[in-house]
Amino acid sequence: MKNIEFLRDYFSEDENFIIYQKHKKDKNGKTKHHHTMLNIKMENLSSHLGRFYYLNRDEDVDIYFTLHSFKKQKAFYPSRKEKFVEKIKSFYFDIDKGDIEQKKADIINLLGLPTYLIETSQSKFQFIYMFSEAIIVKSEEDINKFKNLLKGLCHHFEIDKIQDTARVFRLADFHNKKPQNNNFRVTIEKFPYLYNFADFEKVARDYLLPETKPKTPITNDAKPRQKAIISKKTDIESSGGKFDKYKGIKKVINRKYKELLKKYNGDKSTTDLGFAKWLRTFNQITDEDIITEKIFKARGYQELMEKHGYQIEYYIDNILEKSL
């Protein structure tokens, strides 16, 4: 299925969608992002896709599309924030870790065949279950309801939690430019099935996660965490003073971290999050400074800073937030 054929099959004429272009990192380690809002009735849709083709081929730009439709925006560069989502068009899964074939089978056994099956790299897949009638978003409550249903299923299947409605998937016919994926050409296969939200809800509500308990009031022993402020500086030495105290930390082999790294097929970001959750639940550590220090010890200061650079505060803050 060609990308233009898919877009015209998936979106209706009254829906606007965003094509997300992710450029490779520049010499300072920064990644350029660009959004283009399109509509399938545009006369120059083919021209836009042709431009994306050359960006993908010649400049190693990864090309994605939004799974839901977006409101028109006055800004020249459209935002992909959830508050601009207009219609929810499907539920979806990203299957790229663990026993992939078993997880595919588990999802199909529970929900049926997807409307679209995307192969994003060798033997890694994304499922899209398209609704016969899209959900018009009237309030934040509509979005949260959908997200909670999808989150529970993702947790049940032990796959990536991709419930946010601003989610993007790789677009067919373009190549996966991650170095480890050998320029893999993304393919999409369609099955003759449509679903409705009521059926999805009926199945998914059995897998809803318990509501998050109110956070325990901070005691004198626990230090409050400030929200991260992303610095514009990019080199390791100027990445912000918040983590200067960890500069001398070298990587120390941690058995649990090594076990999680193997479980998540070498994905260190997922491993960092799993490690933080394990520290909170198994070791009952509530002091987030201690959790942060243990992550630095498991990864080593130099490696973490080389990987995340000026975004390190955002990265650590995100892990601490999601591990609650």
Measure Cα distances from 252 to 3, 95, 298, 306 in Å. Answer: 46, 31, 6, 17
| Predicted confidence (pLDDT) at residue 236 exceeds the cutoff of 50 | no
C-beta of residue 178 within 8 angstroms of C-beta of residue 120 = no
| Predicted confidence (pLDDT) at residue 240 exceeds the cutoff of 60 | no
Average pLDDT on 237-248 reads 66
Count CB neighbours of 138 within 10 A. Answer: 8
pLDDT tens digits, 79-132: 999 999 999 999 999 998 889 999 999 999 999 999 999 999 999 999 999 999
pLDDT tens digits, 203-225: 999 999 876 544 455 455 555 54
The per-residue pLDDT of the chain, averaged, comes to 87
Nearest one of 24, 27, 34, 14 to 75, comparing CA atoms? 34
Q: Backbone dihedral region of 182: left (phi > 0), alpha (psi from -120 to 50 degrees) or beta?
A: left
Domain with CATH 3.30.70.1790 in the chain: 3-207
pTM score = 0.66
**CB pairs under 8 A, 24+ apart, for 134-137?**
134/12, 134/15, 134/68, 134/69, 134/87, 134/88, 134/89, 135/87, 135/88, 135/89, 135/197, 136/86, 136/87, 137/85, 137/86, 137/87, 137/88, 137/165
Q: Backbone dihedral region of 260: left (phi > 0), alpha (psi from -120 to 50 degrees) or beta?
A: alpha
Average pLDDT on 59-74 reads 94
pLDDT tens digits, 9-56: 999 999 999 999 999 888 877 888 899 999 999 999 999 999 999 999
Q: Which two tokens stand for residue 85?
A: 């989502």
Instruction: Read off the amino acid at residue 10.
Output: Y
Q: Which two tokens stand for residue 114?
A: 């997807």
**214 contact partners, CB below 8 Å, separation of at least 6:** none
Is the CATH number of domain 3-207 3.30.70.1790? yes
DSSP 226: P
pLDDT tier, 234 (very low <50, low <70, confident <90, very high otherwise): very low
**86 contact partners, CB below 8 Å, separation of at least 6:** 15, 16, 68, 69, 70, 71, 136, 137
